[in-house]
Amino acid sequence: MKMLGVRSLLCFLMLFSTWAFAQINLDSILQSSTLLNKVYNNKNKYRLQVVYTHVEKKDQANAYPTYSFNTGDYVYCASLIKLPIAVLALYKLNELGIHEDAILFTDSSEFCHHKMWRDTSSKSGYPSIAHYIKKMLLVSDNESFNRCFEFLGADYIHYQLAKWGFPEVRIVNRYELPCANGKNLFTNPVRLLDQNLKVLYEQGPQPIHEKWRKPLQTVLIGKGYLDQNNRYIKGAKDFSFMNFMRLEDVHRFLLELLYTRADKFNLNQNQYDFLLRYMSMAPAEAGFPRYDAKTYPANYKKYLYYGDKAESVNDSTFVSINIVGLSYGFISDCAGFKDPSTGIEFVLSASLYVNENEIINDGKYEYKQLGLPFLAELGKKIIEYEKKAKGINRKE
């Protein structure tokens, strides 16, 4: 038997590493503790979905081994769509040749439109796309999402997402009470200005066309719900006309942002660093806007691995670059994990539905009792697997 040459040996080791990770069984991981097994055995009730990508090489995102469990069922995306909206806002500014710190004035063309010319949480006192993105990524701020949505417009959002390979995303609703009589079907007029208040760009009201509002599928959930007037309505809530993005699409979007940004999203290095910084930062570290550490602890919006235990952040060398969703009983986290001390790097997304009484919008969800503990446990088990498969001292 001939001895392997150095190059052949390296190829063998790479193939062995790929083979080792190809053997991952998400089912076995999801049965590896009492808590995980409880949700696993009731995966349909909890609408459990998991997507996991092991990061071994960094040339093309679609070359990374990705594993899925129970994907395809409906997940209410909630704030997960703030990630593509943040990237799209920067992309559009780059097309216009305007810096993200330019002042953004949101005007009104309907009586129920929200006009926004000041932002006391910013250092300058003025609103901007950059500051809105900070608030979206730090604390999942809904008003910031609404203003970025209006700057983009539904046509721009959907045509650009389709070009990027995400044709089945629907982002048509602001996260605020809708205007009456269809007035919410037009976005606000907006202006971008320089620091001397000279207008750089003006955009009138943009229609939200019916083709975007047409449901991709019919989704009825629950046995009853409270409407916007807090009245109980018997029967399932219709999610068909609400914002929609599949968990696996959010996962792929984050994966491509982390590893193929230059080819697709046209971000410069400062913008890329800006996004990752505020996706991983503890809110209280931001400076502007100012967030109190007691209200927004270090684990805020870090569901996978950390859950609701803020103190565990200080005991970990892992960095979580993530986006979350939390609404109507759905709890989701899509996160890129990096550990400089071990070289471990992966992307993990998970979602479940925790609503035992099946009444939607009553505020009685099992986020703390089940959702957060489950996601924290899942993150820990994936990290255990990574350490076992790669060795805790191995460097990438």
pLDDT in tens, 215-273: 888 999 999 999 988 999 999 999 999 999 999 999 999 999 998 765 689 999 999 99
Measured in degrees and rounded to the nearest 5, phi and psi for residue 212 equal: -85, -30
* Structural contact between residues 90 and 119, judged by C-beta atoms closer than 8 angstroms: no
Which pLDDT score is estimated for 60?
A: 52
Which pLDDT score is estimated for 112?
A: 79
Structure tokens at 43: 């995966």
Which pLDDT score is estimated for 390?
A: 72
* Structural contact between residues 154 and 139, judged by C-beta atoms closer than 8 angstroms: no
3-state secondary structure the chain: CCCCCHHHHHHHHHHHHHHHHHCCCHHHHHCCCHHHHHHHCCCCCCCCEEEEEECCCCCCHHHCCEEEECECECCCCHHHHHHHHHHHHHHHHHHHCCCCCCEEEECCCCCCCCCECCCCCCCCCCCEHHHHHHHHHHHCCHHHHHHHHHHHCHHHHHHHHHHCCCCCCECCCCCCCCCHHHHHHECCCEEEECCCCCEEEEECCCECCHHHHCCCCCCEECCEEECCCCCEEECCEECCCCCECCHHHHHHHHHHHHHCHHHHCCCCHHHHHHHHHHHHCCHHHCCCCCCCCCCCCCCCCCCCCCCCCHHHHHHCCCEEEEEEEEECCEEEEEEEEEECCCCEEEEEEEEEECCCCCEECCCCCCHHHHHHHHHHHHHHHHHHHHHHHHCCCCCC
Residue type, 119: D
Which pLDDT score is estimated for 63?
A: 59
The residues, any chain, with a CB within 8 Å of residue 319's CB and separated by 6 or more, are 280, 337, 338, 339, 340
Which pLDDT score is estimated for 182?
A: 64
pTM exceeding 0.85:
yes
304-321 confidence digits (pLDDT tens): 998 887 766 766 788 999
How far is Cα 36 from Cα 375, in angstroms, rounded to an integer? 9
Q: Which residues of the chain have pLDDT under 50?
A: 1-22, 61-62, 393-396
Helix 154-163 and helix 142-152, axial crossing angle in degrees, nearest 10: 80
How far is Cα 281 from Cα 298, in angstroms, rounded to an integer? 8
Name the one residue in this structure whose structure tokens are 């089945």. 168
The residues with which 192 forms a beta bridge, in sequence order, are: 104, 201
